[in-house]
């Protein structure tokens, strides 16, 4: 804004000087009164400043803020269907715009910018980006979500487009996942981490006793809660104490074709008071569809104080399995340490078991910036 002010003030200043120079040859020493000329100049400057202030007040809301974050990943993924060991670089930038109209509400817009993964150095680039959950937007800005949050009688209501039902869920997991796999939602991504189909409404209420209750519904934008549409309903209850917690969720996804799938999920954590002992997070999830039952689980350990950073080690089934199926797992280990308040570096190792061929193995370094 300082540069913009300067650009506006400069021509205005020249405008002030122009009439003065035009009449300079008519002014004599006896006609010149410093106090009078100074008063005229100050009046003109005050008027210009007032117009400038009006422009600023009308141009931007005082309650609007912007936040920026940038994640990059550098490394290689090998195994599975890939025959190369290419080292790749991927990134994703997030822009968050937030404004409030009452002081208690919040309108949030999230914009993502990601590179065109996999276009230059092989399929491993795409795989690395997918593992980290980056969106390849072709270096273009894409609106990732719009939400409006407001209180109602002590409860928190969230309404939005491309918004998760679980945005009001409390959950009970302290594990910080390195990759965007089943580990990311503590093994309960279909229930306690349930997303949305498009338009979403979710509400949550936290009791003073440590208990909380939340629920929501999500539908496609063009088929809101109709027989033709795909609707998801979810409800969650949780209890949180100082060093432990537990959460349970139920979700129903009608699939849009009458083939309803229901999910149950539970996750819990325990954090010892001693910083030398790891916090333990666990998750278990089941699904039922057309008489077929499946399940999967997760366990993660977090050491919050290891030198300047923290260590996370976890494993989870890569999806839900029936009792007759062979289970395959995803493993990861990472060390996250802050360089300063706005920069964190996280090296990590990722392994995904394969039913045939070599397992997927990734050695990656993620760098996160916030500004």
Report helix angle 2-22 to 34-59, nearest 10. Answer: 150
Kindly state the tokens that stand for 276.
């030398």
Domain borders along the chain are 2-57
Please give the pLDDT value at position 140. 85
Q: What pLDDT shows up at residue 20? A: 40
Note whether 135 and 205 are within 8 A (CB): no
β-pair partners for 151 = 156
pLDDT value for 80: 58
* pLDDT confidence of residue 53: 57
Nearest-CA neighbor of 214 among 205, 224, 201, 226? Answer: 205
Taking CB atoms within 8 Å and a gap of at least 24, the contacts of 116-122 are: 117/90, 121/86, 121/87, 121/88, 122/82, 122/84, 122/86, 122/88
* DSSP code of residue 325: S
* Exposure of 199 in the CB half-sphere (CA atoms within 13 A): 10
Instruction: Write down the pLDDT at residue 276.
Output: 83
Q: What pLDDT score was predicted for residue 186? A: 94
The rounded average pLDDT for each run of 10 residues, N- to C-terminus, in the chain (371 residues) is: 39 41 43 58 61 51 89 85 69 94 95 66 59 83 94 96 95 95 95 93 96 95 73 96 96 80 97 89 97 97 94 98 97 97 97 89 95 92
Rg over alpha carbons for the chain, rounded to the nearest Å, is 28
- Residue 124 has a pLDDT of 43
What are 80-85's contacts with CB under 8 Å, separation 24+? 80/127, 80/352, 80/354, 80/357, 80/358, 80/359, 80/360, 81/357, 82/122, 82/123, 82/124, 82/127, 82/360, 84/122, 84/123, 84/124, 85/124
Average pLDDT, the chain: 83
Q: Record the tokens describing residue 143, joined without a space.
A: 């609106």
Q: What is the pLDDT of residue 1?
A: 39
* DSSP codes joined into one string, 73-125: EEEEEEBTTB----EEEEEEEEEEEEE-SSSS-EEEEEEEEE--TTSSS-HHH
């Amino acid at each position: 804004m300082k540069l913009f002010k300067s650009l506006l003030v400069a021509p205005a200043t020249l405008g002030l000087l122009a009439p003065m120079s035009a009449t300079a040859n008519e002014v004599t020493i006896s006609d010149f009164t410093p106090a009078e000329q100074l008063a005229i100049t100050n009046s003109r400057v005050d008027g210009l400043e007032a117009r400038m202030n009006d422009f600023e007040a009308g141009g931007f809301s005082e309650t609007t803020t912007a936040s920026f974050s940038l994640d990059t990943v550098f490394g290689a993924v090998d195994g599975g269907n890939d025959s190369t060991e290419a080292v790749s670089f991927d990134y994703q930038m997030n822009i968050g715009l937030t404004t409030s109209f009452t002081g208690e509400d919040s309108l949030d817009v999230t914009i993502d910018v990601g590179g065109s993964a996999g276009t230059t150095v092989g399929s491993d680039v795409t795989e690395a980006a997918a593992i980290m959950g980056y969106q390849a937007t072709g270096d273009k800005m894409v609106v990732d979500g719009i939400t409006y949050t407001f209180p109602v009688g002590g409860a928190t209501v969230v309404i939005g487009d491309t918004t998760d039902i679980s945005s009001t869920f409390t959950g009970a997991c302290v594990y910080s996942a390195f990759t965007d796999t089943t580990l990311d939602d503590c093994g309960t991504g279909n229930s306690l981490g349930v997303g949305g189909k498009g338009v979403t409404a979710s509400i949550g209420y936290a009791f003073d006793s440590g208990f909380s209750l939340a629920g929501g519904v999500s539908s496609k934008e063009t088929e809101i809660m109709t027989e033709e549409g795909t609707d998801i309903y979810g409800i969650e209850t949780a209890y949180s104490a100082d060093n432990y917690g537990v959460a349970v969720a139920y979700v129903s996804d009608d699939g849009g074709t009458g083939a309803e799938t229901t999910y149950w999920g539970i996750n819990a954590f325990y954090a010892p008071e001693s910083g030398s002992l790891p916090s333990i997070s666990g998750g278990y999830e089941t699904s039922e569809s057309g008489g077929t039952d499946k399940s999967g689980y997760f366990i993660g350990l977090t050491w919050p104080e290891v030198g300047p950073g923290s260590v996370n080690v976890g494993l989870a089934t890569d999806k839900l399995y029936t009792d007759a199926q062979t289970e395959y797992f995803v493993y990861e280990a990472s060390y996250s340490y802050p360089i300063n308040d706005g920069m964190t570096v996280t090296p990590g190792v990722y392994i995904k078991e394969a039913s045939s061929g070599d397992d997927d193995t990734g050695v990656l370094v993620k760098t996160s910036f916030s500004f």
